[in-house]
Structure 1
C-alpha cells in the first residue's frame, strides 16, 4: 500500500517524500539533506527546518538538530521553480465521481517534476476541478499529446490501475514520420515488412541516460502493431497499437525502422537541449483508449479531439 503523505496537497501540488538513511557520516537529518541537495543554498535549506516546513510520519516537525535515524522518511513542499508558461489548454473529455479523462496538449508534462510544477496536467486539473485526490492512472511523455486518464478518488483507483497493469486497455496512437529512404509507393514496406506489421525489439533504459537503447542480442520485451494510414512524397502517417508499454517505445521503434517521428529530439539522434519550439511539436498523438469499465462493466472508448499538424490530408482506408 502506498504511503500517505502527512501533508495536504497545496496549490494542486503534493508534498515530496524523501527517504533518510538510518546511519552514515551525518550527525543530523539536516546534515544529510544539505549534502543530498548540494546544489541548494545550505542556509535556505536549514531555514526551512527552522520554519517547521519539513516533517516526518504523523506530521512531526523536524528541526535542524533532529538526529539521523530518528525518521526514515520526511516530507516537504518543493520550492516552486520559475516556470515558462505552456501556452496550451488541457481539455476534459469525460468526468464522473471515479474517473477523469483529459486531452493533453503537446509540451505539458503529466505530473510535476523538474522545472514544471503548475505547468503539468495533474496540477492544472486538480485546480480546475477542485479535486486534490486526482491521480494519473498512466502517463504520457511531455512531448506526446492525447488521451490521459486520472483517478478521481482513492477508493476506486486500484480497479483502474489494474486495467493497465493487466494490459486490458487498448491504446491507439498516431504518428507522422519522414518517409523512409527505401519507400516504394506501389509496394509500401516498413523495415522490409508489408503493412500491417507487428514489430518487436528489446528496449533497455541505462541509468543516467535520458534515452533508451535497443539491444539486438536480447529477446524482445516490447511489441507494437503498426498500420498504414497514409503517405505523401515526404511524410508517413501510421496508426500504432502498442501491446507493451516500455519507455519511449513507439519513438524508438519507429526510429529503428527508419521512420523516426517528426520533431523528435531524442530518436534516432539525441539533440542538444534547448527551449521549446511550440511551432514544432512531436508528431505523436495518443488518439484513443478502449477498455471495459471495471466498475460498471460498460465498454468505454475515449478519443482525442486533437490532430497531428503534419499528417497527410489524404489518408488511406485500413
Structure 2
C-alpha cells in the first residue's frame, strides 16, 4: 500500500492557498500537475478534500499520495522536424501531444529529451514555451548566453509571432483586443486566465490582433490568424473565450470548462473530442522572426499548419 506524504503548515505559509503551498514547498511538480492532483482528490487537508484555492492555516496537515510511475509514461508524438539549425540555436516544428519540459508523469517523454539525447544535440535551452497540445515553430538556444539574449528580445517585444487558431462562432473580419489578462477568480482551475478591457486585480496589459481567414457556416467555425504583441500566459485562448469565441478542441478555453475535469478523470475520449470539435486545442504557431544583433541577421521561420488540423481548414463558400 502506498504511504501518503504528510506535512504541517508552518508560520511562514499561513494564509496561502493549498496550491500555492504545494508549489512553494514541493516544486518538483508543476502548477498544472498539482492542480490536477487536487482536483482528483489526491491531496487532502486535515483528511478532507479541498479545492485548489482553499486557504491554509498554521498547523493544518497536508497529505498527498506519491505518483505511481510504475505504469510508465504516457505516449507522445515524436514527429518533430528541425526547421533550422546553426551553432547558436535551432528551430523546431513541434508536433501536438508532446510536452517541452519534464512535468508530472512525463519525465523522459519530452521534446527537450528528444533533442538533447536522441538527436545528440547536447544541452539546449527553450527560449519560450508552447503547451503540450499546441503545435508549431519553437526556438531552442544551444548556449545559455544566447537563450538570455533571445529572452530579452521577447521581453522587449522585438520577436514577432504569428499563430493560426480555430474558434466557434462567426468572427469579425478584424479585431484588435487591447486590455488586461489575469487569473479567473470564478474558476476552480487556478491557472485559468480571463481577459477584460478594464484593469482588474493581478491583471497585466495585453494586445492581440485577430484576422479572419475563413468561416464555415455549417460548422460554425472561424479560422483566424493571430498576432500577439505581448506574451501573457494563455493570452490568445483566454482572450478569445472572453470575447465570446471558444477555442475548438480546448478543454479549458473551449465550449465547456468542466471538460477539463472530464479529461482529468477519464482521459481523452471520443465523445469528449466530438463535443469539443477536436482532440486537442486547435492552435498552431506558424511564424516567428527576430533580428540577431550579434550576427546582424534578420531571421524568419515558419511551420505549415499541423496535419491533424487540416480537416478544420475551411474556405468561405
What's the TM-score once normalised by structure 2's chain length?
Answer: 0.66
What are the ranges of 5 or more consecutive residues in structure 2 without an aligned counterpart? 1-9, 14-24, 27-66
Evaluate the alpha carbon distance shift between residue 280 and residue 97 of structure 1 in structure 2; reply closer, same or farther with a 3 A threshold: same
Find out whether 1:253 has 2:239 as its counterpart: yes
Separation in 2, partners of 1:109, 1:280 = 16
Q: How many corresponding residue pairs?
A: 233
Find out whether 1:123 has 2:101 as its counterpart: no
Find out whether 1:226 has 2:171 as its counterpart: no
1:314 positional shift? 2.5
Evaluate the alpha carbon distance shift between residue 291 and residue 216 of structure 1 in structure 2; reply closer, same or farther with a 3 A threshold: closer
CA displacement 1:200-254 (0-9 Å, x = unmatched):
2321136971312345641661110011111111220000000111111111111
Separation in 2, partners of 1:276, 1:118 = 21
Find the counterpart in structure 2 of residue 267 from structure 1.
253
Over aligned residue pairs, what C-alpha RMSD do you find?
3.0
Find the counterpart in structure 2 of residue 32 from structure 1.
none
Separation in 1, partners of 2:302, 2:316 = 18
Residue from 62, 82, 87 that aligns with 1:92: 82
C-alpha contact 1:283 1:309 (8 A) present in aligned 2: no
Find the counterpart in structure 1 of residue 54 from structure 2.
none
Evaluate the alpha carbon distance shift between residue 150 and residue 217 of structure 1 in structure 2; reply closer, same or farther with a 3 A threshold: same
SS of structure 2 residue aligned to 1:176: strand
Structure 1 or 2: larger helix share?
A: 2
Find the counterpart in structure 2 of residue 65 from structure 1.
none
Q: Which structure: larger Rg?
A: 1
Find the counterpart in structure 1 of residue 174 from structure 2.
196
Separation in 2, partners of 1:126, 1:287 = 24
What are the ranges of 5 or more consecutive residues in structure 1 without an aligned counterpart? 1-20, 25-35, 38-77, 184-189
Q: How does 1:164-183 map to 2 (within 5 A)?
A: 164-178=154-168, 180=169, 183=170
Separation in 1, partners of 2:183, 2:112 = 25
Find out whether 1:306 has 2:305 as its counterpart: yes
SS of structure 2 residue aligned to 1:119: coil
Q: How does 1:124-139 map to 2 (within 5 A)?
A: 124-139=114-129
Evaluate the alpha carbon distance shift between residue 131 and residue 205 of structure 1 in structure 2; reply closer, same or farther with a 3 A threshold: farther
CA displacement 1:69-101 (0-9 Å, x = unmatched):
xxxxxxxxx997720111342211111110111
